[in-house]
Amino acid sequence: MDQIQWVGFDMDYTLAPYKQEALDKLSIDATVEKLVKRGYPEWLKDIEYKPDFPIRGLLVDKKLGNVLKMDRYQYVKRAYHGYHELDPETRHSLYHARRLRVGSHRYHWIDTLYGLSEVSVYTAIIDLMHEKGEKLDFLQLFTDVRESIDEAHRDGTIHDTLFADPASFVMKDPRLATLLHKLRSGGKQLFLLTNSGPETTERMMRFLLEPTGNGYHTWHNYFDLIITAAKKPVFFNKTHPFTHTDEQGETQTSPLPTRGKVNVGGNLGGLRKYLDTPGDQILYIGDHIYGDVLRAKKETAWRTIMIVQEMKEELHAQHVSASALTELETTSEIREQVTARLLEVQSKLKHVRRKIDTLRKAHPNHSGDNGPSTNERQQLEDQRIQLEQEIEIVRTQVELAESRIEELDSLIESTFHPHWGSPFQAGTELSYFGHQVEHFACLYTDRVTNLLNYGPTHYYRSPRDRMPHFSQ
């Protein structure tokens, strides 16, 4: 942090953490309302939707109406149709035969917490239709759900309810003002870069930071630069101009953002010129893996912090399943050892059997003879029996370890989430989402004010990376 000159912030889910349950309910109700207006049956309003069914990082297969969780290599590790989990054979035949193209039109990646309500609605409707045995155009349904929620955002249905009582939907953290002030006192300059429009930004930031203290007149004074309606990720590679409203109420357009104004639109090139600071001395904090963190990392040398609200539950689940996780590690080690022993004994047995065969071929008629070859053969036969018995024992040990691992895996996964397990893990691998977080975010944490736990020049050091080198 010592090197950082500028700290940029996204707003929604970064400076403004939402109360997910309340926001989900609001979004679901608004979506269903719009769907019914589009001609969907009225009884959609009576379905019990499950806001806690989806997690971030899932992939919607719009063609087949399935919801998928992938590992870092884009292998599908879990799949649901409605609330029914697909069996491994179906899952394999649908998704493992060829590489899954996450970016293609067939799939929709849920990479923000905003997207969870869409999955809740989509899944509940599919589940009900499946129960009723009715046919459904899965692609059309998803398009309608998406358009309905967008419409509810555009026409103010969601915003009006939200801003009528923001405290019910947004967590106001009194430490936010302290953090911004502390960063400024530590010599950093701050900018706000949000996709929300100027009016929404105004209302939200006022709610979050006003009434102000520490000599700040309005929330604007905490920031050296304010950019709204930024259209990230497009912001990072397009050339839209910046606009702002001047004292006469006229709209002014400029290639660079203007200090002291609420800028609208703009692009990375203009911002970069304005900041005039090497990329690695700029830190950007956001919650959207693609729009904030990934694009920033690909187009700039900015350092990034990702806000992952789920971290809190993740750490809690880790704490609860600590003893199971330890047992899993020990049992996995035991499995390695007994599997290695099994291979060793099997190879010995093969060797002994080959020797017996060779002897048999060399002395085919020695059945009644007590010569040296018979003794040797007897010894080998004894060894063979002993090794076969040992194989039985070791094989049972491998099976026991494997079934215990399976038990522990499902126990641990259900502690994290009954349907999907941890958002960050998929079996023994990182999930696709976990991999993206690790790959593109320099740091990640559950809320921005956690930065207050460290000084403005703190050096954040990551654990040493190790590759799983294999040797004999």
Binding site for Mg ion (CB under 5 A): 10, 12-13, 287
Between residues 111 and 287, which has the closer beta carbon with respect to Mg ion? 287
Between residues 9 and 222, which has the closer beta carbon with respect to Mg ion? 9
3-state secondary structure (DSSP) of residue 281: helix
Quick check: 234 and 265 in contact, CB under 8 A?
A: no
- Residue 166 CB, nearest distance to Mg ion (Å)? 16
Angle between helix 20-37 and helix 116-132 axes, rounded to 10 deg: 50
Quick check: 289 and 433 in contact, CB under 8 A?
A: yes
Between residues 12 and 127, which has the closer beta carbon with respect to Mg ion? 12
Between residues 10 and 314, which has the closer beta carbon with respect to Mg ion? 10
- Residue 26 CB, nearest distance to Mg ion (Å)? 17
Between residues 124 and 179, which has the closer beta carbon with respect to Mg ion? 179
Task: Write out 39-88 in H/E/C secondary structure.
Answer: CCCHHHHHCCCCCCCCCCCCEEECCCCEEEEEECCCCEEEEEECCEECCH
- Residue 74 CB, nearest distance to Mg ion (Å)? 25
- Residue 175 CB, nearest distance to Mg ion (Å)? 19
- Can you tell me which residue has the tokens 């090794």? 387
Name the strand (E) or helix (H) holding 228.
strand 225-228
Give the end-to-end CA distance of the chain in Å, rounded to a whole number: 43
Across 70-82, b (16+ Cβ under 10 Å) vs e yields bbbeebbbbbbbb
- Residue 14 CB, nearest distance to Mg ion (Å)? 5
Quick check: 381 and 356 in contact, CB under 8 A?
A: yes
Between residues 16 and 100, which has the closer beta carbon with respect to Mg ion? 16
- Can you tell me which residue has the tokens 């899965």? 138
Q: 240: how many CB neighbours lie within 10 A of its CB?
A: 16
Rounded CA-CA distance 276/274 in Å is 5
- Residue 264 CB, nearest distance to Mg ion (Å)? 17
| Helix segments in 278-321, DSSP class H | 295-299, 311-320
Between residues 66 and 201, which has the closer beta carbon with respect to Mg ion? 201
- Residue 138 CB, nearest distance to Mg ion (Å)? 28
* Amino acid type, 426: A
- Residue 287 CB, nearest distance to Mg ion (Å)? 4
Between residues 159 and 419, which has the closer beta carbon with respect to Mg ion? 159
3-state secondary structure (DSSP) of residue 189: strand
3-state secondary structure (DSSP) of residue 324: helix
- Residue 15 CB, nearest distance to Mg ion (Å)? 9
Between residues 114 and 142, which has the closer beta carbon with respect to Mg ion? 114
